[in-house]
Amino acid sequence: MNTNSIHVTRTPTILSPDQSRVLLRPFSPGDSERVGRIVERIMSLPEDEVGLLLKEILAEFSARHHDIRSLFLERFEQIREFVPADADVSEERRLLIGSYFLAEYSLESAALFNPSIVPHPDQTDMPPGALRFILSLRATGEGHISSITFRTGIIHADQRIEVFTPNGSLTEPRQIPNPRYEKALFGRKLFELGLHDEFTRRVMSRLGESFAQEELRAALQAEQFRLPDGMAPEDQEDSQGIWMLARSNYQVQFQPDQQISDRILFPVTPSQRNGIEDARFVCFRNDDGSHIYYATFTAYDGKIVVPELVETDDFLLFQFITLNGPAAENKGLAIFPRKIGGMYAMLSRQDNENIYLMFSDNVHFWNEYSVLLKPAFPWELVQLGNCGSPIETDAGWLVLSHGVGPMRKYCIGAFLLDRDDPSKVIGRLREPLLKPNQNEREGYVPNVVYTCGALVHDGVLIIPYGLADHATGFATVPLAEVLAAME
């Protein structure tokens, strides 16, 4: 049986970038001297003019942002050091100063693409045969900075896909202050990073079995002033590395009244400064039957790509975690939705050409890998990679793949792995399952269809996919037809 016997249905649902979806972000117009001059000019304004200016700003922007006054005051506190200590600053002036150091950022001004889809954790009040889902998407805005945004929707019993239109103000989560770390895990990560000399051992010896970020800061400062001449250059490098690891492992919290489609995971750490790209969410089943959502993603600082991990069980609290080990590199990591033989399993792309398989006893550490699949057909001869986490079926692990062929054309294919031993490839499509048609080939990057995760519902494979790195569409395919076409 060939792919001509597979009936792929493209749905009419298209998610296009919406430039009106804006987020308030800190704005820094220059160095500290310039900031000081701007604050000085605002401080010189008469109080009645301050009130009029603030009234105009609130009238223009309040409807676009939730609780904008709190955001203005929060930003003021971040630059309070530039205000004379003895100055009597009214609340209106504090609000006005804060407004000068914020700016709107359009999250989706360039693109909304590369989706992954998972079952919503709340399936209450759903009609028979329907499934509520969460869709993650890569939103790209000014400066080509990417973040993670969400949509919710329902797959109806007739396979109709409904995506709800977001109608609230975009919000970032609050970073949880002074997070705690497990000493054993933190120490293992330091060792993987090559930070295991005497300086690191002295710092870690000052800490308990679990410690807060402020305790780590105090330990680093104690070592900094331990000797009269301060730290040696190599110790300073180690200190920076330890602190960078701590900053890269953090938690953020949204408020329950913030709709999922209004929640934004924006780059925070230095490794992410140029984007959080291509999150592959998966609903992972723990050994005790409970579930947690993992997402591997690519952090990009403008030069280097680093795979990282985020986890959540409610899409309110998100924990960002570094991935360590020689196998945790490159793009396109995708976690299997459960352990296999007592081990975590993950697909990867170590060399930009082939798909690899990895196993680990700890989801944070990946040390060994082996080649699973190599390019074989004309449409994938340039590059082969996964298109999200494997999907468990009675026949085996169904994996969607992406292949790059002539003219850098990206297509979506599929292959099948043995359920008990996923190192065995037991089926593969010779032809693409989905390739860009004439209506999908134009965009930011032409001739590309790509997904970061699909799901099976009621015997139908639901594939959300990016269109030319610009927008997002949906396709449905009978699972039985896909499996029957495997060779």
Looking at residue 3, what is its pLDDT? 62
Q: Given CA atoms 448, 452, 457, 460 in this order, what sign does their dihedral have?
A: positive
Looking at residue 316, what is its pLDDT? 97
Fold of the CATH domain 3-18+110-172+250-484: Tachylectin-2; Chain A (2.115.10)
Given a contact cutoff of 8 angstroms between Cβ atoms, the answer to whether 216 and 239 are in contact is no
Q: pLDDT by residue (tens digit) across 439-456?
A: 999 999 999 999 999 999
Given a contact cutoff of 8 angstroms between Cβ atoms, the answer to whether 314 and 121 are in contact is yes
Looking at residue 5, what is its pLDDT? 86
Q: pLDDT by residue (tens digit) across 314-361?
A: 999 999 999 999 999 888 999 999 999 999 999 999 998 999 999 999
Q: What are the beta bridge partners of residue 15? A: 472
Q: pLDDT by residue (tens digit) across 453-477?
A: 999 999 999 999 999 999 999 999 9
pLDDT value at 306 more than 60: yes
Q: For residue 8, what are its two tokens?
A: 């792929």
In whole angstroms, give the CA distance from residue 33 to residue 11.
55
CA 135 to chain CA mean position, Å: 12
Given a contact cutoff of 8 angstroms between Cβ atoms, the answer to whether 82 and 89 are in contact is no
Q: pLDDT by residue (tens digit) across 188-200?
A: 999 988 899 999 9
Q: At what angle do helices 91-100 and 68-78 cross, to 10 degrees?
A: 80
Q: Collapsing DSSP states into helix, strand and coil, what is residue 471?
A: strand
CA 393 to each of CA 285, 348, 354, 396: distance values in angstroms, whole numbers, following the listed order:
15, 21, 24, 5
**How large is the average pLDDT for residues 14-27?**
95
User: Residue 229: which pLDDT band, with cuts at 50, 70 and 90?
Assistant: low
In whole angstroms, give the CA distance from residue 463 to residue 473.
8
Q: In a 10 Å sphere around its CB, with 0-12 CB exposed, 13-18 middle and 19+ buried, how is residue 316 labelled?
A: middle
pLDDT value at 1 more than 60: no
Q: Collapsing DSSP states into helix, strand and coil, what is residue 225?
A: coil
**How large is the average pLDDT for residues 69-98?**
96
Helix (H) / strand (E) element for 171: namely none
Looking at residue 405, what is its pLDDT? 97
Helix (H) / strand (E) element for 43: namely helix 32-43
CA 269 to each of CA 84, 148, 299: distance values in angstroms, whole numbers, following the listed order:
31, 14, 9
- Amino acid sitting at position 134: I
Q: For residue 473, what are its two tokens?
A: 């569409």
CA atoms within 13 Å, Cβ hemisphere of 318: 24
pLDDT value at 114 more than 80: yes
Given a contact cutoff of 8 angstroms between Cβ atoms, the answer to whether 403 and 377 are in contact is yes
User: Residue 72: which pLDDT band, with cuts at 50, 70 and 90?
Assistant: very high
Determine which of 20-24, 203-207, 222-226, 275-279 has the lowest per-residue pLDDT on average: 222-226
Looking at residue 310, what is its pLDDT? 97
Phi and psi of 106, rounded to 5°? -85, 105
Q: Collapsing DSSP states into helix, strand and coil, what is residue 126?
A: coil
Given a contact cutoff of 8 angstroms between Cβ atoms, the answer to whether 238 and 199 are in contact is yes
Q: pLDDT by residue (tens digit) across 244-290?
A: 899 889 999 999 989 999 999 999 988 898 899 999 999 999 999 99
pLDDT value at 177 more than 60: yes
In whole angstroms, give the CA distance from residue 238 to residue 194.
9
In whole angstroms, give the CA distance from residue 302 to residue 279.
18
The DSSP bridge pattern shows strands 291-300 and 344-348 to be unpaired
pLDDT value at 231 more than 80: no
Looking at residue 2, what is its pLDDT? 58
Mean pLDDT score of the chain: 94
pLDDT value at 230 more than 80: no
